[in-house]
Amino acid sequence: MDSIINTFHIDWKIMIAQAFNFGVVFVVLYLFALKPLTKIMKERTEKIEKGINDAKENAEVLSNTKSEYEKVISKAKNEAHEMFQEGKKEAEIKKNQMMEEAKKEVALMIENGKKSLESEKTKMISETKGEIASLAIKMTEKIIGEKLNGTFDEKTMNELNNM
């Protein structure tokens, strides 16, 4: 061992001083570099874990929101369809009511038209009877050539009107 110590020029005093220097440098590096670095790495790890957890929560919230959105859209579509069907039914009812009213009005117009035609017919028949009687009297006068007394005309007119 002496030969190794002489070959490498190892001095125990220098070795102890170097061990002491190494210990001091180790303590200084541990206190001023390793501890803060460990603390920073721990904080950084916590931030990353928190970010990952937040991302997972956000993904869950997004998934829940998406499913709620789809439910709301589906519900809105169903409500819109129901409203459309109700509107369609109401329109059909309104259409039927309007058709009934129109039929009643048409029937009333036809009824009034028939009454009007009937009164016109009666009026025309009575006027026609009067004219026919007048024409018959005039034709009779022309044929006979002379006019009988005034009572004959009235009497003939009354008889012709009663026919």
Query: Which has the closest alpha carbon to 160: 138, 144, 139, 136?
Result: 136
| Angle at the Cα of 99 from the Cα atoms of 94 and 100, rounded to 5 degrees | 100
pLDDT at position 136: 79
Cα–Cα dist 94/88, whole Å: 10
Q: What is the pLDDT of residue 4?
A: 75
Per-residue pLDDT at 15: 85
Whether the model clears a pTM of 0.85, i.e. scores above it, the answer is no
Asked if 160 and 129 count as a contact pair (C-beta separation under 8 A), the reply is: yes
**In one letter, which amino acid is 64?**
N
CB 127 within 8 A of CB 151: no
Cα–Cα distance measured from residue 21 to residue 19, given in angstroms and rounded to the nearest whole number:
5
The CA distance from 156 to 138, in Å, is: 12
pLDDT along the chain (163 residues), means of 10: 73 88 94 91 96 94 93 95 94 95 94 92 88 80 60 64 66
Tokens of 61: 């919230």
